[in-house]
Structure formats: structure tokens, C-alpha cells
Chain A
Amino acid sequence: MLIRGIKSKPVYTPLAPDLGGRTHLLVGFGVGAEPLTRLMADCTLAGVTKASRRLLYVTDKSASMAMHEMMRHADAGEVQLFKDSASLLSEFETILKASIMGTRLYVAGPEAFMGLVMRIAARFNLNRDEIRAEECGSPARRVHCIHCRAATEDVTTNIVQCVDCQRWLVVRDHYSRRLAAYMGVMIDAEVPGELPPIEEVFV
């Protein structure tokens, strides 16, 4: 497999206020705190009220304690902090279930996290232009095993063992928004045991 520009990877752009929205839902992970803080300041300048902003944030080791404190006191009408992304995602889904009318979604963090957020948003038919996403933090990949359909999280190497079927998978540069993952394909199907060196590449 030749590695080149990834055409199926979404294009992420720096967050900016969308004045068309009535509710501004900010969702962040780890160092995503920085762009979200900048966005909240820009919102205030643009006249978006604090009350219309709601923040969901989960911290991780990439973010400092200071960042966590900063988010706790973030400039939003409602702030919710989570211990892990699973609980954040479930709260996020509950919010969308209640109402998406006039909602604008802003996501910031590593792609592996944002992909899961945007996958839920897509289920609720939020259009691509109602979602803004800024990538920052770890480039580790979420990998979908094309053979058994399990997802292996936090992949930083060119080759990884599938958490479910245990096959060694090469991580292809092909990304699915629907699955929020890159494609993993068995590396030694042609000659069993023939594996190239495993290297840290998504760091």
C-alpha cells in the first residue's frame, strides 16, 4: 500500500462562531480545550450569548490540570465535565435526542474522538454544514477490522493486532465517517507470518 494524501479523511478547519445557530453545543477532548476557549471568546465578541452555549468536555493525559480547571470555569451557560469519552458520548446523544432544532455543533480534539461525536451527530441528521470540527491532539487512529468488524482503539503503529479476531492488520489510509475509523486489513494473508517491522507512525 502506498501512503499518500488521504482523500476520504474529513477536512477540519479552525472553529469559528456560526451566527445562524440558536444553541451552540461545544464538545471537546483533551487539548481540544484550547480551540474551544478561543471559540467562546470569539462568540462573546460576535454577540452570541453565554446562555446559548453548552460545553461537554472530557479530559485526558494530553491535557494539563490547568486546562481541566480552565474548562471547569469555562464561559458557557452550562458546563459538564466527564471522566471518559463513553459517558460524554452518551450524554451527547441524550441532548441531541431532546432537540437539534437550531443547534450548531463544535467539536475539538483528536480525530478518533471527533469521529465518534460526528457519527452520532450524523445519525440525528445534523448536516455537514451544521458541524464544525478542529483537529488537535493525538493522531492515534481508530481501526475497523474489515474481516470481523471490531474496532481497535488508540492505534499508533502501522500494524496492529485486532482486539477481537487477533489478526495482524495493516492500517490503510482510508477513512469512513460512518464507522468513525480507518480500514484495517490483514497484513500476512498472502504469506502467513510475513510481517514488515512494526513502527510507531501515528504519534
Chain B
Amino acid sequence: MSAVFKTDETFRDDFKYSNSPRAIRRFPLPFVEDKYMYSVNIEPHVPGPKDSITEFQFDVDEHYIGECRDREIVLKEDPLRYQALPHMMSAQWDVLELLMNHMSKDYPEQFSLSKQGNRWSWHNKLLNIKNEFTFGDPSTLPREPLDYITRQAQGDFVVMDQRDGDFYIEAGMVTTPADWSMDFDMGMSFKEWHGPVPLAHELNVFDRALKFLLNLRINEPVRRLNWTMTVNPRLDTSPEFYPRWGSDRASVTADNVADKAHIRVELQGLWRLPRSNAMLFGIRCYLISIRELATIPKWARRTHRTLRDLHPALVDYKGLTRYRDHVVNWLAPLDDGSPTTSGNAPE
């Protein structure tokens, strides 16, 4: 069963957003046990079960149209959410190729790609976009290749150059960040851009992750889950626009918490790019309200315990201080203390 694409979702103002029962069942709960701490949770990005979010390398789901539309709105107001240094052009084509190949192969009814040598023809039926272009010649596309293709994909994308045993952020499309700024972090190295993260440096998470990633090979992508919480189904929680969304955090009450508070999960993928040897980092975001999440009894119990016992430094860093207690109190009656099975499957 494939997704039924919604056409009228919004991630701002009136927040017209919800998850179908199918979307809830495939939601990637990031808690594999009843507690959470940072770890080097990296695994091969191999195909998961049919209908799961990892069935394909780039998941396209029912929220596709609304997410692409929200990206356009952000870019209009703040064009610097897309940036690429001049020498990243070959990496840009790498990303365009990777995304077009996978999307057209995995979702043939929505996307089609045909190639005659360097003459490529791309048709995106969901957004009604059609272009013929010469692969490798930026003048034949309406925008830079990375800009062009990531406006047609869900999730943020960061491209890193690799040199001197480190990665440097040198291109990307970031319109749905969980409180980090690519504009500020441009040019930084792996440990520099991770600077603000508490505890993980001391746990050697970044040392080990960096070492592992430097050796990542072509065609062997990896993935990990990361999570935070967001008030309202808002995708653009950027520091740039924090003056607009900051007050959301103070708007949560015992009465509205189940619909306002959302768990936000990022399926993060990493791909070595073939021509440029650069690294693509994909941040595919999933939002679920506490009410939707609690329709799965195991998830309600587990999320209750995890949030209740979360390390104070993580509560602070993830910006949960003002409303965590409301979430925990709402979930508490749903937790009868019975054990949960390991892993994140619904049960």
C-alpha cells in the first residue's frame, strides 16, 4: 500500500497536519528501550520491510507536497537557507543524480527520469515539474543542481567536503532545522559544528563517529535516528526565525499538550558521493503528536518513561524545559508499569 498524498497540509499558521494510521504505524520511534542517551547509533542503510520508512533510501510519504511547499516559503523569506561554495559543483551533480535515480526507480508513478547520454529528462508528477537538461551543465537547469533537486525532496540536506581527516560543511539546503543554523555553521569541521551538543563529546561519540565516517564507501550508505520535540507541527524551527516560534514553547498547557507537543524524529542518512568524494548528510524529518503516538500502547509507556527520566542536560539542550512535565503527566495514566518489548516496533 503506497501513500495517499495530501495536498493541503501546512506547517505554519493554521497547522493543517496529521498522520494517517499508516503513517503512525511506520513512524520511527527513536527509543529502542525505556531510556535514552546519546550513542554511536550508526547502522547500514539497507532496505527495511515493505512500507517501512527504510524500504527505500529516500522515503517519500503522504506529507511530500506540503513539505516542498513549506520549503519554498522559507526560501523566499531567507534565501541563505540554501548555500553552496563554488568548488562543490561536482558534488551538487552527484546529489542530483543520487536523488533522481532513487526517486524514479522507487516511485515510478510519481517521478520519471530518462537518459540519452548526457541529455536527461526529469518529470515530477506530484509537483508538476518537468525539465530536460544536460547532466553536468548547470546552465541547462533553472537553478543550481542541489537547489533544484532538494526543493523536490523531503528533508534537509548538507554536503560536506572531506580533507585533512575531517569534514567541512560547504553546501546544503536547510529549511527544517531543529534549532541550528547552516549559515552560521558553514565551513565548520565535524567537531566544531557539533560544538553545542552536551555530553556527547565527553562520551567520545563524535571521535568514534568521525573516524567511522571518514572511511565510508560508495554504495554503502549508513543511517541513524536522532530526535527532539517541537511544539506544533512546525518544520522550520531555525534559530533565524526563533523570535516567531519561541513563544510556542510557552503555549503548552495540561489541556492542549497532547495535540500541541510533537515528537520530531530525524532519519539521518549518509552517502559517499562518487565523483567529488564529498559526503551527503540527509535529515529526513518525521513529526507525530503525542495523541497520535499514544494510539500505540507500547509507545505511550516507553515515551513516558524516557521523557520522565531524560538527563537534565538533554532536556535543556532540546528546549523541553517549559513543557516536558505536561507531556509526562499526560502520558502517565497510559503507563501501567507493564514491560515493553525491546526494539521500536509497535509490538
Contacts and interface: CB of A to CB of B under 8 A. Distances in A.
B248 to A, nearest CB: 8
A177 to B, nearest CB: 7
By secondary structure, the A interface counts as loop
A191 B316 CA distance: 16
Interface in B148-199: 181, 183-188, 191-196, 198
A190 interface: yes
Interface stretch (B58-66, B108-116, B236-244): B236-244
A179 B184 contact: yes
A186 B184 contact: no
A1 B239 contact: no
Interface residues of A, number: 28
Given A147-B240, A167-B243, A190-B249, A7 B184 contact: no
B201 A186 contact: no
17 contacts: A2-B317, A5-B201, A7-B194, A147-B240, A147-B243, A149-B183, A167-B243, A176-B186, A177-B188, A178-B186, A178-B188, A183-B181, A183-B239, A189-B243, A189-B246, A190-B246, A190-B249
A174 B250 contact: no
Interface of A: 1-2, 4-8, 122, 144, 146-147, 149, 167, 172-179, 183, 185-186, 189-192
Interface residues of B, number: 29
Contacts of A173: 195-196
A122 B186 CA distance: 13
B334 interface: no
Contacts of A167: 243
Contacts of B240: 146-147
B313 interface: yes
A7 B191 contact: yes
Contacts of B191: 7-8
Given A8-B192, A185-B239, A178 B316 contact: no
